[in-house]
Chains A and B, each alone.
Chain A
Amino acid sequence: MRSRRFSPLVHGGLLTLTGAVLLLLSGFVDELRTYQGAQVAVYVIAISSIVLLTGYSGQISLGHGAIMAIGGYAAALSFVKWNFPFEIAILFGVIVGTISGFILGVAAARLSGPYLAGTTLALAVGLPTLADQFRVLGGEQGLNFDIGDPPTWITKIEGSSFTQYKWFFWITTIFALFTLWAITNLLHSSFGRNWRASRNNPVAAGLAGINVARGKVLAFTVSSGLASLAGALFGLLLGLVTPSAFPLSLSFAIVTGAVLAGVGNLAGSIVGAVVLVAIPEFSGTLATHLGNSQKVSANLPGLAMSLLLILVVLFLPNGLGSAQLVKKLYKKFTTT
């Protein structure tokens, strides 16, 4: 439990500064890295949803990929069918996702551990199939969510080198930084403390006057709001939403990212997000060095990710982004 003095203003200021720096830096990297940066930003939001839900409120969800799908589809639907501007479309996605999260949260509050895991798992597999059932959702081909080129007021300022990918990076990063700021505030507030208390000892928390069930529902609702934001942005990056964009492995990936982050560690979500994007990248390079066979290139990312996950769970339960690890590494490298 950190007892640092926490000022939302200072924190917000720091994040804004970080944002400005990142946006500046984005001018110096190539298109691929810019796109990957945007992916990292989206994963940060998705992982933070799990940090809140599991790390703080102690509920496990293996179906947040489906909630991302809800956000993504709602946003795309409003964009395509009702011509919402994309910002409003994203907001719409978040609203729909949050409401869905509330409904799910009410059901989930009664379930414990593996029962909740099983239910969310069923959701993750079952929900994307809705797209085939209702034609308005576009079936296998999905819905378009192409927001087009950056608006003219930006290209006027930044020049013609401001590509669509840079535009994506800006959008997602701003959302991600704002999310980090807002959620850190939330986790440091009485809500966050109540979640922690309810999770460590629900009986004691109840006796102390905390409404444990309500806290659980709230956590699930907010977490779903975050996940649906990530889903909407995810669709934005892809330019479309399809059922296959939100497979079961996505749900597993963001839980993985949260574990790598240190599941109670919000700041670590950045580390987790980077790892999620970096592993496929690195293993792709490694695979080329190892002969570039189909078998190797298809399976090396999965192998690397799985090994990393197992090692983190077994030996670094506080995740890669933990302060403990940094301290340990610092000690190791400075005392030889």
Chain B
Amino acid sequence: MSEGLVVSNLSVDFGAVNAVHELSFHIRPGELVALIGANGAGKSTLIRALSGLITPSQGMASWNGVSLIGQKPEELARQGIVHISEGRAVIPELTVSENLALGGIWRRDKKDVEIAREQTLSIFPVLAARLGQRADSLSGGERQMLAIGRALISRPKLLFLDEPSLGLAPLIIEEIFKTIGALRTQFGLTVLLVEQNAMSALRIADRGLILNLGALVASGTSDELIADPQLRSAYLGI
């Protein structure tokens, strides 16, 4: 039972405001789970607590038995737990090549870094075409690919994707989501996908967790969630 991501009774408070309320869930290794909810539901806060950017006020979270709480974000990243943050996941002032390199600078196995880089460039050929350009000259979709590409170079095991579809055109969103699903299979990743775009996320996910006002209100397989009429109208926007 300690395999995978185990979150138990996690709460995050900002002063008097309770953003995340006693959350408990379990993600098995290799699963792609969608975390859905409206704006302000606490999704991003939860992810930031899991990746070490904020300290939860109570509760536990662990990955394969090792506690995440209290570790610095950079240490978690070096353990293969990579958080691709919402909207700002690349460094605009650096080139595409430098952004990618950032994924591997702390790694010892430079040979494998090179292999991973080649893999990434073949998965995202548009990045290969723009290696020398500054990241701020890329389109939204390209930046998302760059962020994912950088993450891949660090050989992640657990991936937190925070609203990758934000600000992107529907066709690009399709492509990104397809890629995420494919990468999960190819590299055996465990993915927690945070999204407002519930339908698209559930279509590639195995399971879904629905958050409202910081609390877990529903969970189940994607098929179950999509089929439930109440949930559809309340959270899936249909």
Do any CB atoms of chain A lie under 8 A from CB atoms of chain B in the complex? no
* Chain B contact residues, CB within 8 Å of chain A: none
